[in-house]
Structure 1
Amino acid sequence: MSRTLRARICLSVLLTLTVVGLGPGAAGAAEPDPSPTRGPGVTASPGQYALDSRLERALGDRGAGSYLDSATGELVVAVTDPAAAAAVRASGARAELVERSTARLEAVMGVLESRAKIPGTSWGIDPAANQVAIEADGSVSARSMARLRSVAASLGDAVRLRRVPGTFTKEVAGGDAVHGGGFRCSAAFNVSRGTDLFFLTAGHCTQSAVSWSASSGGAEIGTREGSSFPTDDYGLVRYTGTPEAPGTVNLHDGGSQDITSAADAIVGQALRKSGSTTGVTSGTVTAVDVTVNYSDGPVYGMVRTTACSAGGDSGGAHFSGPTALGIHSGSSGCTGTNGSAIHQPVREVLGVYGVAVY
């Protein structure tokens, strides 16, 4: 569970299920997040994406995640022993010795999974703090919050816990709207397999309908090819006919961003989200390997960001320049310019369906 199209009609699809929109405001104020990755993100280079992926495989249990230094832009790799640190430095990245490996942090999340699986909570790995960062939204009752605090206290400084406003809900996001089953959604990225064209969107969108159109009650433009939700949150829709489906993301200002590659997001990096409700918003990646406990089931291996989003943004595109990063799943809302947008890593989805961005 670790990180392991635009047809004019549908670029980033935003689903506006009447049953899932943005939840009510939180009961109680949000608490500040002391994470060292909070603040403006930095741009990741193609070389850093490749190096990050290579080192993650090479280090195995000696690794503890990676992040981008907000001041220098360097790739920082957390490790648990001096030999691993030397290997990281030899590769050109900066090493940081820490107490807890990724495997140990995943074990901590296993405890949370078994003892504190409460709707309205999420947790994920913040490698910059070498901790599991837990969030509880406004729907979590005082009794459940006491239980969560008790479990967190038993895990010591391996975790940190904070209250966030809003309610974790599946949303609809993306660029251009598509409709299915009486719902409105968005497509994240156009993808191909040989000469066949598809678009990716959220699994909680594709679970609701087989046939998709560009307008409510309109002609069919695609049919569901695959869907996964909960546990994951992704779906694949095959275009019908001969669609005009360039590999771009709608920027909602008359322009578009060409997408030429895909990568796993790195904590500390800047990214953008394209959604039909909130348009293009910007944020920073704050945690990976995130579990989100939605009211109708959990999703695993997600990425948490500070991008703003709202109901209607589910299924949309998370990207950085020409690099596809993820498919918008949901959030607990947005306060000012600080959001909590969650995305499904797109590289996993490309591998599952054997498709590629273009």
Structure 2
Amino acid sequence: MLAGAGALALAATATVTLANAHAAPAPATAKLSPAAATTLASQLKSGTAGAYYDAQAKKLVVNVVDQASAAKVRAKGAEPRMVTHTMAQLDAARQTLKAKATIPGTAWAMDPKANKVVVTSDRTVTGAKLDRLTKVAKGLGDTVELRHTNSQFRPLIAGGDAIWGSSARCSLGFNVVKGSDPYILTAGHCGNAVQEWSDQQGGQTIATTETSKFPGNDYSIAKYSGSTEHPSEVDLYNGSTQKITKAADATVGEQVKRSGSTTQVHDGTVKALNASVNYQEGTVDGLIQTDVCAEPGDSGGALFDGESALGLTSGGSGDCSQGGETFFQPVPAALQATGTQIG
């Protein structure tokens, strides 16, 4: 039984296993938010190649490929960093990977710090599949870096707070509203597996899945029934909760936390955006890649930074004993697609 009125506000996970060049510093008086730096990098797309927050130096960095773009970045209050590959070159590499190497057990994302597309294959990619992936990666030259993990990429179905169905346990991501009606926002692979949700195993229905998208995306909403409490909070598993007031886009280098019903609260860093993961069940694009650990049952759970809702736990590799990487469905995109908002 979940304890407390805030129980259903947390990130939960489901139990279904799917498996440098130097640049001048920014002016001391100028300030630019991480979101603004990312927007700036996209606006100067022909001359930039992504942005990230350097936590150690406490500065925002925008990759640039020419001095004109460097001057514009510096004027906006971020620090330019000269790199080799343009965003267009990196996007072209991603498209080649998608066309020639969409193999279950692989993932890729543009790493702005490395100025490369980092491709990872899990332990299931062997033999002819690994040979094919290696050939495609080598053909893309130094725009791509190929890595391997001994774990397996999989959705993390099992169960912040646990929500239960007859065939799966997931974690609740965020409580949201659609019009005046309250809804649960969680992972799509959870919504695909469960139609009616309860707050305890074998309990009464508290919500019914209305919309679910997976693969392609990984989000679902379930409409609350009855009078279940649905505060806009995340369970911190220490007797307290984190209030959630808004949704926000993640930034590479951002320090984040994840709450899930299997492994509770863990923290880490955003490593890449717009990641593609080729699960055995299909490909999901546009994900947030992090070094936060997660395990089966954490699916759907909340990724957040302070009062900002960032993502829903999708899947990954590794565990919270050995470490690993976890991918998240961005919350803003899920809200827009479902017509919901943070309550």
TM-score (norm: length of structure 1): 0.86
Contact map agreement 1:49 1:263 (CA 8 A) in 2: no
Aligned residue type for 2:142? D
Which of these residues, 191, 205, 209, is aligned with residue 220 of structure 1?
205
SS in 1 for 2:109: strand
> In structure 1, what is the equivalent of residue 276 of structure 2?
291
Is 1:13 the counterpart of 2:23 in the alignment?
no
Contact map agreement 2:38 2:251 (CA 8 A) in 1: no
Taking the aligned partners of 2:192 and 2:254, their CA distance within structure 1 comes to 31
1:49-92 CA deviation, whole Å, 9 max, x = no partner?
Answer: 44134314422333311111132121111123322221111111
> In structure 1, what is the equivalent of residue 28 of structure 2?
none
Worse overlay, 164-173 or 250-259 = 164-173
> In structure 2, what is the equivalent of residue 118 of structure 1?
103
SS in 1 for 2:201: coil
Aligned residue type for 2:306? G
Give structure 1 stretches of 5+ with no counterpart: 1-5, 24-45
Alpha-carbon shift at residue 346 of structure 1 (Å): 0.9
Taking the aligned partners of 1:222 and 1:47, their CA distance within structure 2 comes to 41
1:256-296 CA deviation, whole Å, 9 max, x = no partner?
Answer: 11112222211112111111111111111111111101001
Identity of aligned residues (%): 42
Alpha-carbon shift at residue 329 of structure 1 (Å): 0.3
Alpha-carbon shift at residue 9 of structure 1 (Å): 4.1
> In structure 2, what is the equivalent of residue 68 of structure 1?
53
Taking the aligned partners of 1:49 and 1:173, their CA distance within structure 2 comes to 33
Aligned residue type for 2:13? L
Taking the aligned partners of 1:335 and 1:183, their CA distance within structure 2 comes to 21
> In structure 2, what is the equivalent of residue 339 of structure 1?
324
Distance 1:121 1:214, change over 3 A: same
Contact map agreement 1:174 1:317 (CA 8 A) in 2: no
**1:7-46 alignment to 2 at 5 Å?**
8-9=7-8, 11-17=10-16, 20=17
Taking the aligned partners of 2:42 and 2:272, their CA distance within structure 1 comes to 19
Contact map agreement 2:159 2:296 (CA 8 A) in 1: no
> In structure 2, what is the equivalent of residue 330 of structure 1?
315
SS in 2 for 1:274: strand
> In structure 2, what is the equivalent of residue 279 of structure 1?
264
> In structure 1, what is the equivalent of residue 23 of structure 2?
none
Alpha-carbon shift at residue 337 of structure 1 (Å): 5.7
> In structure 2, what is the equivalent of residue 301 of structure 1?
286
Aligned residue type for 2:193? S
Is 1:207 the counterpart of 2:181 in the alignment?
no
Contact map agreement 2:35 2:251 (CA 8 A) in 1: no
Taking the aligned partners of 2:132 and 2:113, their CA distance within structure 1 comes to 27
Distance 1:49 1:181, change over 3 A: farther
Taking the aligned partners of 1:220 and 1:119, their CA distance within structure 2 comes to 35
Alpha-carbon shift at residue 121 of structure 1 (Å): 0.6
Contact map agreement 1:16 1:311 (CA 8 A) in 2: yes
**1:56-95 alignment to 2 at 5 Å?**
56-95=41-80
Is 1:314 the counterpart of 2:305 in the alignment?
no
Taking the aligned partners of 1:165 and 1:226, their CA distance within structure 2 comes to 34
Is 1:245 the counterpart of 2:244 in the alignment?
no
> In structure 2, what is the equivalent of residue 266 of structure 1?
251
Is 1:107 the counterpart of 2:99 in the alignment?
no
1:281-319 CA deviation, whole Å, 9 max, x = no partner?
Answer: 111111111110100101001111111111111101111
Give structure 2 stretches of 5+ with no counterpart: 20-30
Which of these residues, 6, 15, 37, is aligned with residue 52 of structure 1?
37
Contact map agreement 2:291 2:324 (CA 8 A) in 1: yes
Taking the aligned partners of 1:174 and 1:153, their CA distance within structure 2 comes to 39
Taking the aligned partners of 1:298 and 1:75, their CA distance within structure 2 comes to 31
Taking the aligned partners of 1:172 and 1:208, their CA distance within structure 2 comes to 9
Taking the aligned partners of 2:6 and 2:46, their CA distance within structure 1 comes to 43
Aligned residue type for 1:186? S
Worse overlay, 49-58 or 119-128 = 49-58
Taking the aligned partners of 1:62 and 1:289, their CA distance within structure 2 comes to 19
Distance 1:133 1:166, change over 3 A: same
Taking the aligned partners of 1:168 and 1:152, their CA distance within structure 2 comes to 19
Contact map agreement 1:233 1:329 (CA 8 A) in 2: yes
Aligned residue type for 1:149? T
> In structure 2, what is the equivalent of residue 168 of structure 1?
153
Aligned residue type for 1:15? A
